[in-house]
Chain A
Amino acid sequence: GEEVAQTPKHLVRGEGQKAKLYCAPIKGHSYVFWYQQVLKNEFKFLISFQNENVFDETGMPKERFSAKCLPNSPCSLEIQATKLEDSAVYFCASSQGVSGGYNEQFFGPGTRLTVL
């Protein structure tokens, strides 16, 4: 598609429950990025993929967070055993590349996760 699609738009989970978020990148884009926006302002990078391969996972909390990008499927971000502090808006972005003129990231509308 021409836009990055994210589902669901809103997700409510009780503390300890699992949450799974989905992202369909723009067709033809090789890179997918996940960011977490807490408290409206602060963006934190989580993980990126080059096609189905993990490209950079330096921001990923390893204990409860996992992510995948499988061929012919939306990418996913999963949080096992959610905590109150996981409440945030999770944004997915995609780009053609990571250097030169190809590194513009196009953002999806986000998934708002509320952990009660």
Chain B
Amino acid sequence: AQSVTQLGSHVSVSEGALVLLRCNYSSSVPPYLFWYVQYPNQGLQLLLKYTTGATLVKGINGFEAEFKKSETSFHLTKPSAHMSDAAEYFCAVSDTWGKLIFGQGTELSVKP
């Protein structure tokens, strides 16, 4: 069975600083991995996904993530945080039937 663990329920960074949101997964099959962002009172928006191929995945809004099989990790990074990045971020893995198994979420705060 698949599972996802997000380390840190809340991360706070200063504007312009590096953003690092951690995600570790467990999967018995080659995983499909996703990062979604949720702004208050809204649905989920896909930031990026890993299916196969290149392990460094670039997404929208300057975010990227690297799939590391040996570490079972898929951490999300952004070189320079912007105030508009403040939101809840969810890492997810999909099972062979397509359903998403989500982590607990990480709330990102950006200080001016």
CA distance A100 to B104 in the complex (A): 25
| Complex contact A41–B105 (CB within 8 A) | yes
Interface size bracket, B side? 20 to 34
- How far in angstroms is the closest Cβ of chain B from A92? 9
Which A residues, 96 to 116, have Cβ-Cβ distances below 8 Å to chain B? 97-101, 103-110
The total of interchain contacts (Cβ-Cβ below 8 angstroms) comes to: 64
Please tell me if A87 contacts chain B, counting CB pairs below 8 Å: no
| Complex contact B88–A41 (CB within 8 A) | yes
| Complex contact A105–B42 (CB within 8 A) | no
Residues of chain A at interface, number, CB under 8 A: 30
Please tell me if A22 contacts chain B, counting CB pairs below 8 Å: no
Interface residues of A (CB under 8 A from B): 4, 31, 33, 35, 40-43, 45, 48, 55-56, 58-59, 91, 93, 95, 97-101, 103-110
